[in-house]
Structure 1
C-alpha cells in the first residue's frame, strides 16, 4: 500500500466512527428502536448467554455490509416482484435483509458468459438502470449509496444501502473513458478477471493503467477469479486497497477463486479485503465450514482484512442454515462460540467495508491532484 493510507490508519477505527451514539447499543431492542427490525432469538432466546441472542444484539449495533449480491441478474427473469413484501423465488428481499441485519449490499453487475464489446457495455448499463429502478420502487427499504458516508446515512434512516458493483471487466470494452462513465453513474467495484489485459501471465501495460485509473477515480479493484499473477501484480501497483469479493481460503478448499496463504498474507500487508462467500462450493456445506474459512483468513490477513459476501441470487448453492440473506445471525453466533471478540466481529460485519470505501475515496482525491484522466489505448500499449 502507498503512503497515502497512513493518514487513514492514524484515525479512529471505522467501526468506531460509524457506531451510533445510543445508550445500550448492544441490547437486542436497539434493532427495533433504530431500524424497526424484529429480533427473533428462537425458542431458547430468553437467555442473555445464548449465542444467537448475543449475535442479534451485536448485529443491531454492527450490521452486515454484504460484499456481493446477484440480485440484478435474477430480477431480470422475474415478470413481477415486490421486495418489500418478500419474494420466495429469490434469496433476497427486504424482510430477510432486516432479519439478517444486512444494512449495506453490493449489487453485482456481472454478465452472462460470452458477452463482449458493445453488447457487454449495453447489458451492464441495462443492469445499472434496473438497479436504480428497483431501488426507487422500494423507497421504504432500499436507498442508493455511492460512498461510506451515504451508506451510514442510509443505515441511520433504517434503509438498506445499495452500492453498484462489481461490474465485469468486459463492461469497459477496453476503454478507460467507459470506466469513468460507469463511475459517474455510481460504479464502485470493477472485477479484473476475464479481461485480455488481466490474464494468466498477469497484468499487461494497459491492465496496469486500468488499475491506476480505478485508483484515480475511486473504484475498488476486485481480484476474485483473477490469476495468481494478476492478483500479485495488482497488489503491488494499487495505491488503494483491493478487494476480493468472492474468495475464501484455498488451503481449506481448493477452489480457483480462493486465495493461497501467501496471497492472504500479502493482502493483509496491503490492507486489502477478502470477502468470504457463503457458498457450499467455495467454503463448504455448513456454517462451521464458513467459520473455518473466516478463522483462517483472519489469522493470516488480520481482522481488518476479512469480510462477508453472501453471494445470494448468483445461482450458487449455500451452506445449511445460510440459505438466504436472513442467516447472518447464525454465522455470527458460531463465531462468538469460537471466541471472536466484539471488536473483530464489528470489523468483519461492517467496519472493514467502510474502511476500504473511505480509503478508496481518500486515495482518489489525492491522485486527482497529481494525475489527469488517462487517455491510454489498449492498441497503443499492448499492440
Structure 2
C-alpha cells in the first residue's frame, strides 16, 4: 500500500494561448521522473516538439462542476485549487478540452435539466472571463482556428442523458446552447437492458444535430446497439481496457473491436482507478486499445478535476509530455501519436458534422414522445 500511495497523486479535486509554450523544443528539460521510468530527456524533448504541432484534444474535464465550489478563480493567472488552468494547459500543450456537464448521482428529472443548463451557462461565463486563454468551439474548423490563434478550444459536454428529461425538444435546446456530447446511460431508454426504441430515436436525432454519443459507463448491449444504429462515429469519453483493469466503464476486447470497426473513439482516462497507478500503466492501456481497436480509434482523456486520483507523473494538465515520452520509448510512431493527441478527435468531429448536414437535408426534427415508442 505504501508503494501505491507513493505513486498516486492524492490531492483533493474540488470539484490561452497567445504564444507558443515558454519552453521550446530542444531546450534542456528534466527526465521523466516516475519510479523506474528510464525515459531520457531526449524523449521528453521529442514529446514537446510533437505536441507543439499536434496538441492534445482532452476528452474529459470535470472543471465546470469543480469551479462551482470556488468563490473566486483566475484560470489565466493560474488556480491552485484545481488541476486545470491556462498555464498548465500551455505547459501540457492542450489544444482542445471537452468540459463535462455530468451531475452528482441521484439528480434527475427537472433538477437534472436545470443543473445542466446552469453548467452550460457557467461554461460560457468562464470562457468569456478568460478571452486570452479560452474560446468556445464546436466544429473541427473553428477548433483548429482557435488552436492556431493560441487559445484552448472548449467544447461543452458530455452531459448526462438525464438532462433531456425524455424530451427531444430539450435535446435540441441544449444543442442550441452549445452541447456537443451526450452520455447514453442512466435512463429508462438507455439502461443495462440496452437502448429502447425511443433511445434509438434519441440517437438518430443526435446524429441529425451533430451531438456525439458518449458510451462510457453504458451497458454492453447499449454499446453494441449504438454502434449499429448511429450514422456518426460514437465515442467513449473515458474508457480503458477491461482486459488490463476491471472497471465498469472499461471496455472488453469484443467492444473495443466493435468500436474500431465503426471507426469510433476510445479516450483512455489518466486515472489510477481505471488505468493504474503509474504512467506505464496508462501507456499499457493505450497500447492495448491501439492494438485491438486500431490507431485511428484511440484518444486521451485527462479526467482532471473529476474527483479521481492520478498517477504522480500525470498529476495535472501540464503532464501530457511525460506520457508522450513514455509512448515514444515504446516506439510509437510520430504519425500514431499525432492521431492519438489531435487527429482522431478532429476526424470524429468532422464526420459527425458531415453526418448532421446530410441528415438535416433528409430528416425533419423528431417530434417523437417516449410513450409512442416505449409506453
Match of 1:35 among 20, 28, 51: 20
From 76, 100, 109, the counterpart of 2:101: 109
Say yes or no: does 1:256 pair with 2:248: yes
1:37 Cα deviation from its structure 2 partner = 3.8
- The worse-fitting range, judged by mean Cα deviation, of 372-381 and 355-364 is 372-381
The corresponding residue for 1:378 is 370
Can you list the C-alpha shifts for 1:309-335, whole angstroms capped at 9, x where unaligned? 000000001112001000100000000
Shift of 1:42: 2.3
CA 1:44/1:182 → structure 2, altered by over 3 Å: closer, same or farther? closer
TM, length-normalised to structure 1: 0.89
Aligned 1:176-191 pairs, distance under 5 A: 176-191=168-183
Separation in structure 2 between the aligned mates of residue 374 and residue 319 of structure 1, nearest angstrom:
45
Instruction: Report the CA distance shift for 1:33/1:44 in structure 2 as closer, same or farther (over 3 A).
Output: farther
Alpha-carbon distance in structure 1 between the residues aligned to 2:359 and 2:336: 31
Whole-angstrom CA distance in 1 between matches of 2:149 and 2:21: 10
Distance between the aligned counterparts of 2:333 and 2:205, measured in 1? 37
**1:132-160 Cα distance to aligned partner (Å, 9 max, x none):** 00000000000110111111011011000
The DSSP-based 3-state class of the residue aligned with 2:96 is strand
Contact persistence 1:278–1:309 (CA under 8 A): yes
Q: Which residue of 2 aligns with 1:76?
A: 68
The question of whether the paired residues in 2 share the 8 Å contact of 1:248 and 1:257 is answered with yes
| Aligned 1:262-273 pairs, distance under 5 A | 262-273=254-265
Tell me, what secondary structure is at the counterpart of 1:308? strand
1:43 shift after superposition: 3.7
Q: CA separation in 2, counterparts of 1:196 and 1:364?
A: 26
Give the C-alpha shift of residue 49 in structure 1.
Answer: 7.3
User: 300, 323, 346: which one pairs with 1:331?
Assistant: 323
CA deviations 1:203-245 (Å, max 9, x no partner) are 0010010111100110000000000010000001100000000
Deviations 1:235-257 (A, max 9, x none): 01100000000000000001110
8 A contact 2:31–2:41 mirrored in 1: no
Deviation (angstroms), 1:36? 4.6
The unaligned stretches of length 5 or more in structure 2 are 1-16, 33-39
For residue 371 of structure 1, report the CA deviation from its aligned partner. Answer: 0.9
Partner SS for 1:282: helix
Gaps of 5+ in 1: 1-31
Are the aligned partners of 1:247 and 1:257 in contact in 2 as well (CA < 8 Å)? yes
Asked if 1:118 corresponds to 2:105, the answer is no
Q: How does 1:1-383 map to 2 (within 5 A)?
A: 35-39=20-24, 41-43=28-30, 50-383=42-375
- Flag as ranges the 4+ runs of structure 1 deviating above 3 A: none
Structure 1 residues 141 and 201, CA gap change in structure 2 (3 angstroms):
same
Query: Structure 2 CA distance, aligned partners of 1:313 and 1:353?
Result: 21
SS at match of 2:153: strand
CA contact (8 A) 2:242 2:253 kept: yes
In 2: Cα distance, 1:220 partner to 1:322 partner: 27
Take 2:131 and 2:43, find their aligned partners in 1: how far apart are those partners?
Answer: 33
Higher deviation after alignment, 196-205 or 64-73:
196-205
Q: Is the 8 A contact 1:41 1:52 kept in 2?
A: no
Shift of 1:35: 2.7
Distance in 2 separating the partners of 1:113 and 1:176: 22
Secondary structure (helix, strand or coil) at the match of 1:281 reads: helix
The two structures have a TM-score, normalised by structure 2, of 0.91
Deviation by residue 1:290-313 (Cα, 9 ceiling, x = unmatched) = 000000000011100000000000
Call closer, same or farther: CA 1:210–1:321 in 2, change over 3 Å: same
Deviation of 1:114 after TM superposition, in Å, equals 1.3
